[in-house]
Amino acid sequence: MSGVGAGVAAGFEALYGAAPDGVWAAPGRVNLIGEYTDFNEGFVLPLALPHTAVAAVSRRDDGVLRLHSRDIGGGVVQLDVAALEPGTGGGWAAYPAGVVWALREAGHAVTGADVHLASTVPTGAGLSSSAALEVVVALALNDLFGLGLSRSELAVVAQRAENGFVGVPCGVMDQMASACAVEGHALFLDTRDLAYRQVPFDLAAEGLSLLVVDTRVSHALGDGAYAERRAGCEAGARALGVRALRDVPAVQLPDALGRLTDETVRRYVRHVVSDNDRVARTIALLDAGRPRAVGALLTEGHASLRDDLRVSCAELDLVVATAVATGALGARMTGGGFGGSAVVLVEADRAGAVTAAVEKAFADAGFAAPAVFPAVPSAGARRVI
């Protein structure tokens, strides 16, 4: 990592003419289980990836914010901190500018910065390159301005940047995973109160591999479908007289379904309540040292996302069916669906065979080749130089 950090620091110096005050890194994430549960105040279990956004940053005290990404053309974006308002910074720069705006809105004095960044988190693959970008900038500014914010507070600032400034109505899971993850662990997060716990998930020590299969497709339905699922879940909570679907325990699911008249809402409720339960069961298995048994829960979760929430697609279904047929322990789509990535839990010595089978199935179906890599549970955001 210090190698990557040194490269970004050198890029900063070449751009701005002086060495940065420091270099920070924040990872992308993949969610093991608990999908579409975060806006129902439910449970999620993400892990941080080895892929990170790395930012070299220097503090400024003259109200100027300069932003540059090695990965995007278009040069340095220069903004006036005092004039930042939602809608003033378009494109990629809205993510880091939104963090400065959200810090200011929360009453923290941030008087400007020079930022140069580079990221190895694939964009638009459902691996949260956006949260990595937000969190790395939030952590850098927290250190440089001595703001004293906790990891969860930084995650909330980053989420506020994305919701309020960029204009994406995301939950807080991505930012929490990027800010709070610990190597060799998954992060059990209660999205109601942001309480979290590190759950041991040392795949290599267990002889297991968790493959991420990026389908490289994004079916445009995504945004509207997300809002529609969200509205359906809120309607379900209202009909059941609970604050959020998180308040319906799995044992009460049959009774709850019997009280719902709308067929669509009933499906959404069944997914959310059962997926919250699958998170709890996954954690119980990991705590009991039985990671292989998690596979069946992943596959069950995929069926629920496909049949009840209906957010999967042909490519994701093909990954799961092929992986399971080739001897994987289990697999599911991860993230918002309609494309993006799937995760596959597999014995490490079967990973190559499963990868080859998925690649062949995609070629036979006439789909573009997927990108496959192992998700090594990695560290959350940190200072690297």
Q: Under the rule (CB under 6 A), what is the footprint of ligand ADP?
A: 69, 71-72, 92, 95, 119, 123-124, 126-130, 133
Candidates 35, 33, 46, 31; CA nearest to 230 is 35
AA identity, residue 290:
R
**DSSP, res 306:** I
69 binds, among Mg ion, ligand ADP, none (CB under 5 to 8 A by kind): ligand ADP
For residues 203 and 182, what is the distance between their CA atoms, to the nearest angstrom? 14
C-alpha–C-alpha distance, residues 203 and 33, integer Å: 16
All residues at 6 or more sequence positions from 345 whose CB lies less than 8 Å from its CB, including other chains = 208, 209, 210, 291, 292, 294, 295, 298, 328, 329, 330, 331
Q: Is 307 a catalytic residue?
A: no
Min separation Cβ 115 and ligand ADP, Å: 11
**Closer of 100 and 127 to ligand ADP (Cβ):** 127
Taking the C-alpha atoms of residue 56 and residue 79, their distance in angstroms, rounded to an integer, is 18
| Shortest distance (Å) from residue 102 CB to Mg ion | 16
Shortest CB 381 distance to ligand ADP, Å: 15
CA gap 290, 303 in Å, rounded: 22
**Catalytic option among 174, 214, 277, 308:** 174
Strand residue runs (E) in the chain: 22-31, 43-44, 46-59, 64-69, 77-80, 113-119, 185-190, 196-200, 208-218, 330-334, 339-347, 371-374, 382-383
Residue 124's binding partner, choosing from ligand ADP, Mg ion, none, with beta-carbon cut-off 5 to 8 A by kind?
ligand ADP
> 121-140: which residues touch Mg ion (CB under 5 A)?
128, 130
Least distance from ligand ADP to the Cβ atom of residue 91, Å: 6
- Decide whether 73 or 254 has the Cβ nearer to ligand ADP: 73
- Closest approach of Cβ 104 to ligand ADP, in Å? 21
Distance CA(56)–CA(24), nearest Å, equals 7
Q: Closer to Mg ion at the Cβ: 54 or 177?
A: 177
> Is 364 strand, coil or helix?
helix
Nearest Cα to Cα of residue 46 among 164, 229, 150, 173: 173
Query: Contacts with Mg ion: how many residues (CB under 5 A)?
Result: 2
Q: Which is nearer to Mg ion, 168 or 242 (CB)?
A: 168
Q: Which of ligand ADP, Mg ion, none does residue 123 bind (CB under 5 to 8 Å by kind)?
A: ligand ADP
Which amino acid, residue 270?
Answer: R
Q: What's the closest the beta carbon of residue 128 comes to Mg ion, in angstroms?
A: 5
Of 111 and 218, which has the nearer Cβ to ligand ADP?
218
User: From ligand ADP, Mg ion, none, which one binds at residue 119 (CB under 5 to 8 Å depending on kind)?
Assistant: ligand ADP
The 10 Å Cβ neighbour count of residue 21 is: 17
Give ∠ CA 17-23-28 in degrees, rounded to 5: 130
User: In terms of CB distance, is 128 or 152 closer to Mg ion?
Assistant: 128
Residues that bind Mg ion (CB under 5 A): 128, 130
Q: Supply the residues annotated as catalytic.
A: 174
